[in-house]
Structure 1
Amino acid sequence: MSMSTNTSRAVQFVKSFGGPEALDLREVPVPDVGPGQIRVRVIAAGLNPMDWFMTSDADTAARFGLSLPCGFGNDYAGVVDEVGDGVGEFNVGDRVFGGAFSRSVADYVVVDAPGHIGKGGDAHRTPDGLDDRIAGALAIAGCTAAAALAIVNPGPSDTLLIGGAGGGVGVFAVQLARLAGARVIGTGSAVSADALRALGAEPVTYGESLADRLRELAPDGITAAMDLHGTDTIAVARELGVPDARMATIAAAVDGVTPANGANAAPGAIEKIARLAAEGRLRVPIAATFPVNEVRAAVELQAGRHVHGKVVIDL
């Protein structure tokens, strides 16, 4: 689509919430910057399950405070394009990444500086040597993994079980736990085994008789667990004697187990992850990239839950 200088592209739900078919690429005014805010020209926007879960229907969207017309996506990376009054920490031209709540798949996002990953959005400096596509895939999954790890607090004496280890959050959780010195056993499908090994986890297939397979793999026992998919891993970990205090969930609630929320990640957690990625000590596999006009295909691929690594939209 051809644009004048005061319009830009944004992916939006216009008539209704729903699946990928409800998404449209629209021409919209370039957003204005208020005091304490920055405008970022987005270069890459990573997708997460949360993006399409929140916007799958009107009731769910309302629970997250979203209404039509509504943007799409949360993670972004790009370059500061304008700086609002009272912002001292960023300048035009700075490379930044962060979260922009349900509006990141767009040419421009306006976020609070430095901000918080919730509604107002946030921005962090992109370290030198870190590719925008990788920076644009860090915020939600990285913060969620950091929050879950803070609850479980794995160390060199731990054998940590991670359920759904091959997913977007799992990629970070596995590597951060390994960097903390823990042994990591990750559940996944048979086809995900090589991807899990590449991250440093010992793969085990989920499903029936998982407890038996784990007893064989870890005769000295499992000491901590994270369920990144539902509640099945928690049930098995309890069966193996893991105390509730050493467990976390991200996608379901279990009485007695602390749920992890990326919004509660410790200050500095996402900057640390970005530094590790820039140094090559943490690998962020990019499974596929799509131009913004193919956003529906990108969301379909991501929502299929069989992709190993991140799906990123190029703007």
Structure 2
Amino acid sequence: MKAISYREYGGPEVLEYGDVRDPKVGPDSVLVKVRAASVNPVDWKCMGGHLDAILDPVFPVIPGWDVAGVVVQPGAAVPEFVVGDEVIGYVREDFLSRGTFAEYVAAPVRTLARKPRNLTFEEASGLPLAGLTAFQVTTKTLDVTEGDVVLVHAAAGGVGSIAVQLARHAGARVIGTASERNHDFLRELGAEPVTYGDGLAERVRALAPEGVDAAFDTVGGDALKVSAEVLAPGGRLASIADGAVIGLGGHYCFVRPDADDLQRLTQLVEQDVVTVHVSETFPLERAADAYRLSAEGRTRGKIVVTVDWTTEDGPAAH
């Protein structure tokens, strides 16, 4: 099958497009015909070796953890899905090797859920990792509830934009940091936008003089420091970007695959509570360009890589 892969750590220049061996389908896995896979910052961080301390690479590595596609072969111990089911998944294992930037991926069933009926494959591929991160942090770690004032950093990004929607659905008031070009987008999501940069703490305090009840940091560094400064007494703090949050009395969060959480997200999408914004799409062979765009850090919503099946030439066995 065709896939994107890399044989050593590095930047987008190490990505190769070409033939790799077909995936084997274990008893607890599902072979998914990939229609789209979204790019996440963690993808190029893994490729650069920044997660080497916790994830062993098995080269060549096929990158990508998000997928939307169609089941073509359930594993022997998988009654949950049948051939033809449309699914989404956060296909992360505890090593780097069998990713989603390929024509097919063998996904553990624990990573999959039904695809929302009202999303395209491109939109649906942007939901798993970003959606699960936003869901697990807002509903579990921060326990956002009605009446809370919540600060979300990089609120126009993939994780941030979904976190805004989930917090608003919970009845919270949301303040979101973003560049000015994304302020109207945040207002459409129901957030009150503030520009990040120097003076951010003062701008947040102007909107929430008594402080915020919860802060969701997706950036780290100065954004994390500001988050701690503007917390109300007893406020909750979580970061997905900076382990220094622990020293500030907050929680460092790393999203985990969870089929039940992912199915709940599917339900929220079908109830029009959550939407996924796709800013740009690239064909599989141009995944390196998608990585470069993601690394710039200015994306609204998600960047997606698509697999063209107009002339199907995948593995004959499937």
- TM-score strictly above 0.5: yes
CA RMSD of aligned residues (A): 1.8
Do 1:225 and 1:242's aligned partners in 2 also have CA atoms closer than 8 Å? Answer: no
Q: Secondary structure at the match of 2:198?
A: coil
Letter paired with 1:131: T
Q: How many residues align?
A: 298
Q: Unmatched 5+ residue regions in structure 2?
A: 308-318
Matched residue of 2:162: which SS?
A: helix
Q: Where do residues 1-315 of structure 1 align in structure 2 (5 Å cutoff)?
A: 8-14=1-7, 16-57=8-49, 60-61=51-52, 63-101=54-92, 103-113=99-109, 115=110, 122-149=111-138, 150-243=140-233, 246-253=236-243, 254=245, 255=247, 256-263=249-256, 268-315=260-307
CA distance in structure 2 between the aligned counterparts of 1:54 and 1:147, rounded to whole angstroms: 22
Deviation at 1:264, TM superposition (A): 7.1
Are the counterparts in 2 of residues 238 and 244 from structure 1 also a CA contact under 8 Å?
Answer: no
TM-score relative to the length of structure 1: 0.89
Give the structure-2-normalised TM-score.
0.88
How many angstroms does 1:180 deviate by?
Answer: 0.4
The amino acid across from 2:105 in the alignment is V
**Which stretch of structure 1 is more off in the superposition, 130-139 or 212-221?**
212-221
Q: CA deviation at 1:244?
A: 6.5
Alpha-carbon distance, 1:230 to partner: 0.4
Deviation at 1:172, TM superposition (A): 0.8
Name 2:316's counterpart in structure 1. Answer: none
Would the aligned equivalents of 1:46 and 1:310 in 2 still touch at CA under 8 Å?
yes
- The answer on whether the counterparts of 1:223 and 1:246 sit within 8 Å (CA) in structure 2 is yes
1:262-306 deviation digits (Å, cap 9, x = unpaired): 1176x6222122222233321211000111111111111111111
Q: Say which is worse superposed, 286-295 or 233-242, in terms of deviation.
A: 233-242
Question: Is the 8 Å Cα contact of residues 80 and 91 (structure 1) preserved in structure 2?
Answer: yes
- Give the whole-Å Cα distance in 2 for the aligned partners of 1:223 and 1:125: 34
SS in 2 for 1:214: helix
Q: CA deviation at 1:62?
A: 5.5
* Structure 1 residue runs of 4 or more that deviate by more than 4 Å after TM superposition: none
Q: Which amino acid aligns with 2:212?
A: I
Cα distance change on mapping 1:99 and 1:12 into 2, 3 Å: same
Of 75-84 and 211-220, more deviation after overlay is shown by 211-220
- Determine the structure 2 residue equivalent to 1:119: none
Q: Is the 8 A contact 1:225 1:233 kept in 2?
A: no
Where structure 1 has 5 or more consecutive residues not aligned to the other structure, the ranges are 1-7, 116-121
Cα deviation 1:229-263 (Å, max 9, x = unaligned): 10433422332343566111111112121112211
Post-superposition offset of 1:71: 0.7
Task: Give the SS at the match of 2:212.
Answer: coil
Equivalents in 2 of 1:90, 1:30: separation in Å?
Answer: 21
CA distance in 2, matches of 1:240, 1:34: 49
CA gap of 1:61–1:25, structure 2 versus 1, over 3 A, is farther
